[in-house]
Structure 1
């Protein structure tokens, strides 16, 4: 076994790999960009090396700099984590050529499965069922649209070199295809350096089922059962669970056997995931599940598999890389209980899920559950990297118990002023459809209004009003008819006064009567920026006795489209003088590895587009202006 490991990654996965390495007595080495100089993963490592500026292409994606750091520190092995260079075959070969142990898939397997069209062809040859679609060399927009028309809508455009939900677009009608193709190609080129795509039939009521596989250098491959990752938004997984609800023994046997067959077809070594798309209209059936792709790396959602099997997959990766056999035979692996994982993102569900950046002035995560994170209170959420800031993982005897425990954990999240999706996660986990296991990849889109609506409960309002009342009278909770912050209603001698309190919640005025019959539940209140923040079920609410101006960014009432965060202009679908309708894209901003379209707020004419493609812009910059009228 090697004695030192460099993790060529950042954030929570670097911290997660370090945890296992330290338990095994292996020295840990971190790499970091200038933006991550004070990051948690840097402090948790035994040694850390600066490898470049904030931009990932100049640091974490620079293979030469990472390899130089490994040589300079005497690292005997490199673990790539996920994302960045984890599925870069050339990097893996360079690591091995330098005499350093590569803790990842064989380069040949990475290449075989890295291009989705070639991988599907290989799976057909191996006898693994695949979804119908087009994987041809002709990448002209005309040919791609013709193929999509022939397949029949809806279709899914997917980057050939894609992964992690990047470079994917669902298209429901032919007239929307070319715009979606352009957006998909830009995102694919930015994320993977390859803008080629394939077209697949979009499965109605689709469920995303994946199987964890593990192989060793002696030809053995085992599976560690399946995960259900159907709860997604824009092809990004939100909540994952293991095992999959509704999976019977016969279907499990068929899908896991197909996964093992797929892994053996590429002589796979290490941890990998075979992803399948299932038509859930009639439940899970073996003849309605098709191969989608293989991820030749450790997955973000690997903790739920670890929870139900009792296996440490990172330790298994270390042992396989050191030439050891798979630690357990297939008949020694079994499912125990139910596990769920929620991805905590720095984003604002109430504002179109726009990523949120800034300092984590207040950052509290729940006790009693597994937390994988790479940030802490006082740290920064940067514009340069993925907005996921933590994973919350629970394990229980039953699915119902796991869902309830995870909902409780998400409800206890307190983050400020960075916005998170914690409240949204609670809503998902408590939704009757999710509780019943009636979930497909369209669930969030269909239920988004109910899942993102923010409103304080009466109990929370009462608690906030009492705290404000207490603070505004200088700590004296006694009643006075002359107190300006509380007004008696129907004042009579020898009668209990009725108190009315004005409360502004996120800038909206509410007047309520303080009801002594309601339990004095004050919730969690933290002073910040001159207001009090009340956390309820994962949602933060700014409460005060006075009106507060709303935050900048987004769309102003005068038609100006402002950058919600720093980023780069990647497209200008509308030009000055163009007539646009409400909701039509005017300018597209790329930030935090995602594209964000700023749309016309009403019917009108584009009066100005202030920036060109390629321009870098700051937060709140006016990118374009739409003038009312035509």
Structure 2
């Protein structure tokens, strides 16, 4: 095992990794931008170094500076967290070439799975079901129109190098396809440095369900059950739970088998996630693979009792998995909600200073955050500021604990999506387990519209 690692990230995931380092007796090194100088995770680490000004390209995406800090601090390995450089093959390769262990899979796998078209081709070769679509990039609008006619509408226009909900556009017609083609191409170039686009068929009333896999460098790879991540806004997850309340046990086992088949085919090691779209008849199709720890990893930890960060560190150090398939139990149900600094009606970011922060505690509850009273939420980074996880012996108990906890959660000084989360997890459709990817559009936004219309009507009266 290592004695000292650097965490190339910020906020709650940095705090999360630091916590496991302390448990294992490892020294942790944090990095921070000027905007994050007073963040709690900076104090929690054994050492902390400023890597630049607030903009991400000058700090958390600054490979030269991060690697310079790694050398100066004498770490042996680098944990990328999620987001930023976590799935950047160039960064992983530089870590290795400069003498550090990258806590993740191989550079080749990161590069292959980061290219959505290449990932589709590999999964097809592995015998994993894929969504009908293109297995090559679109060269121009004419190619897009021809492909659209062949596949049929509605379609998802996607950036090949996209991720995190960015670079995705639903189109219902040729007119919409032409309208968004150039704009999405420019967006892909800006965010990912790759303008390649492709098309996939759009699955109506779909569920977004993923399988957590973990493998070592000795060829052992196992599934750690599934997670339902269907409730999303702007193609980003806001509520995740394990296991999925939608699929049957028969479908679940088929998905686990497909995920392991996929991971073995590409020679995967460390922690990763195979994501699927599932239709109303429980047919499932490969969506993408995340070659890193996921934001929603706590729900898997809660139902299995396995510390995924600990496993990441041990695998990167060359150890075998600390458990077998027979050791993997599934106990109870866990639900996570992401708390964002954003307007709960428009979903626009809400930067500002936190003036009050009261988080709920109690049986079955887990909080992940790196904020406090006085924390300045800036516009430079993703607006997710905390996560709340509720576990229960049953899904109903987990829901009840989550609702009660959200009612006690209090953050002032900025707007948050806590009201949106409370309405969502209290909704009869959520409680019944009906959580498709259109949940926010079908159930939450109409509530907002109705509320606003009532306010206007009351204003007139």
Query: For this structure pair, what is the TM-score category when the shorter chain's length is used for normalisation?
Result: over 0.9
Deviation at 1:441? 0.2
Of 329, 342, 357 in structure 1, the residue corresponding to residue 351 of structure 2 is 357
CA distance in 1 between counterparts of 2:300 and 2:229 reads 12
Structure 1, unmatched stretches of 5+, are 457-504, 512-630
Mapping of residues 96-495 of structure 1, within 5 Å: 96-280=96-280, 282=281, 284=282, 288-350=283-345, 352-368=346-362, 369-452=365-448
Counterpart contact for 2:420–2:444, Cα < 8 Å: no
| Distance change in 2, residues 1:406/1:452 (3 Å) | farther
Deviation at 1:186? 3.4
CA distance in 1 between counterparts of 2:339 and 2:395 reads 20
CA deviations over 1:513-536 (Å, ceiling 9, x no partner): xxxxxxxxxxxxxxxxxxxxxxxx
Describe the SS at the equivalent of 2:207: strand
Describe the SS at the equivalent of 1:104: coil
CA distance in 2 between counterparts of 1:75 and 1:454 reads 55
Describe the SS at the equivalent of 2:275: strand
CA distance in 1 between counterparts of 2:267 and 2:68 reads 29
**Correspondence for 2:51:** 51
CA distance in 2 between counterparts of 1:31 and 1:187 reads 28
CA distance in 1 between counterparts of 2:155 and 2:188 reads 17
Deviation at 1:449? 3.2
CA deviations over 1:69-91 (Å, ceiling 9, x no partner): 10011111110000111111121
CA distance in 2 between counterparts of 1:431 and 1:199 reads 34
CA distance in 2 between counterparts of 1:197 and 1:413 reads 41
Counterpart contact for 1:308–1:339, Cα < 8 Å: yes
Mapping of residues 16-31 of structure 1, within 5 Å: 16-31=16-31
CA deviations over 1:103-125 (Å, ceiling 9, x no partner): 11111110121100001101111
CA distance in 2 between counterparts of 1:156 and 1:61 reads 29
Describe the SS at the equivalent of 2:331: coil
Deviation at 1:450? 4.2
| Distance change in 2, residues 1:420/1:510 (3 Å) | farther
CA distance in 1 between counterparts of 2:109 and 2:305 reads 27
Q: What TM-score do the two structures reach when normalised by structure 2?
A: 0.95
Describe the SS at the equivalent of 1:75: coil
CA deviations over 1:243-280 (Å, ceiling 9, x no partner): 01132222111110110011111111100000001102
Structure having the higher strand fraction is: 1
How many positions carry a matched residue from both structures? Answer: 456
CA distance in 2 between counterparts of 1:414 and 1:131 reads 42
CA distance in 2 between counterparts of 1:137 and 1:10 reads 34
Match status 1:88 vs 2:88: yes
Counterpart contact for 1:346–1:389, Cα < 8 Å: yes
Mapping of residues 610-621 of structure 1, within 5 Å: none
Mapping of residues 552-563 of structure 1, within 5 Å: none
**Correspondence for 1:12:** 12
Describe the SS at the equivalent of 1:354: coil
| Distance change in 2, residues 1:182/1:357 (3 Å) | farther
Q: What TM-score do the two structures reach when normalised by structure 1?
A: 0.70
Larger RCO (CA within 8 A; separation ≥ 6): 2
Computed over aligned residues only, the root mean square deviation of the Cα atoms, in angstroms, reads 1.9
Deviation at 1:188? 2.4
Deviation at 1:375? 1.5
Counterpart contact for 1:362–1:416, Cα < 8 Å: yes
Q: Which has the larger radius of gyration?
A: 1
| Distance change in 2, residues 1:363/1:189 (3 Å) | farther
Deviation at 1:390? 0.5
Deviation at 1:174? 2.0
Counterpart contact for 1:239–1:340, Cα < 8 Å: yes
Structure having the higher helix fraction is: 2
Deviation at 1:182? 3.4
